[in-house]
Amino acid sequence: MFSDWGCKIMYTFRIVENAEEKKLIYKLRYDIYCSEKQWLDSSNYLECLESDEYDKNSIHFGAFDDNNILVGSVRLIIPEKGMSIPIEKAFDIAPKYDQKRLEVSRLVIPKDRRGYNLVMGLIRTIYTWAIENGITHAYIISEKNLLNYIERKGYPFTPISEGKDYFGGYTIPACLVVSDVEDYFVKGEVAVTLEK
């Protein structure tokens, strides 16, 4: 379990491991990607659960309100040895197998809960996990406005290729060197955790 990271509304951010809660994440992803944005064809998901081949190599994080209702999620794709991650395939980027890398993916928040408090809570939670597990590089495919926002908050993702229309809109492939993070709010808390 992680901190509320200073959100004005009390949220809990944690790893989701049990099957029932993962189904809630897949349903939220379906609601957003298939129903709301129509980026994916709903006829491919007969149980109204959006999942793909990368979920088995992922760690899922959820944001929960004070009633324990899921209000957001994100996954970290952790590649096995010799495995490519989606950004490498989609943007024809040579895999960096020598890096301890991951890909940030499937960041979703319901329409009625959207706001940067929840986004930053999830970002800070996965950063904490990355530091605690020795991750050196984090990759993301994102719209420019989100990249700009999280850079202002101390997460300097650097574009690594030209952007293109991908997964519903114009997106940019970017990489974060984890040691370059300058979010001092969360770095202080991580330092205390690692000293224990």
Q: Quote the pTM value.
A: 0.89
The H or E element that residue 152 is part of is helix 144-152
Top-level class of domain 12-195: alpha beta
The answer to whether residues 66 and 18 touch, using CB atoms and an 8 Å cutoff, is no
Q: Is 31 exposed, middle or buried (0-12, 13-18, 19+ CB in 10 A)?
A: middle
At 27-54, the pLDDT tens digits run 999 999 999 999 999 999 999 999 999 9
At 4-22, the pLDDT tens digits run 555 556 889 999 999 999 9
pLDDT at position 182 is 86
Listed by start position, the domains of the chain span 12-195
Q: Which residue has the higher pLDDT, 5 or 64?
A: 64
pLDDT at position 187 is 62
pLDDT at position 9 is 64
Arithmetic mean of pLDDT, 140-154:
93
Confidence of residue 196 (pLDDT cuts 50, 70, 90): very low
Arithmetic mean of pLDDT, 76-97:
95
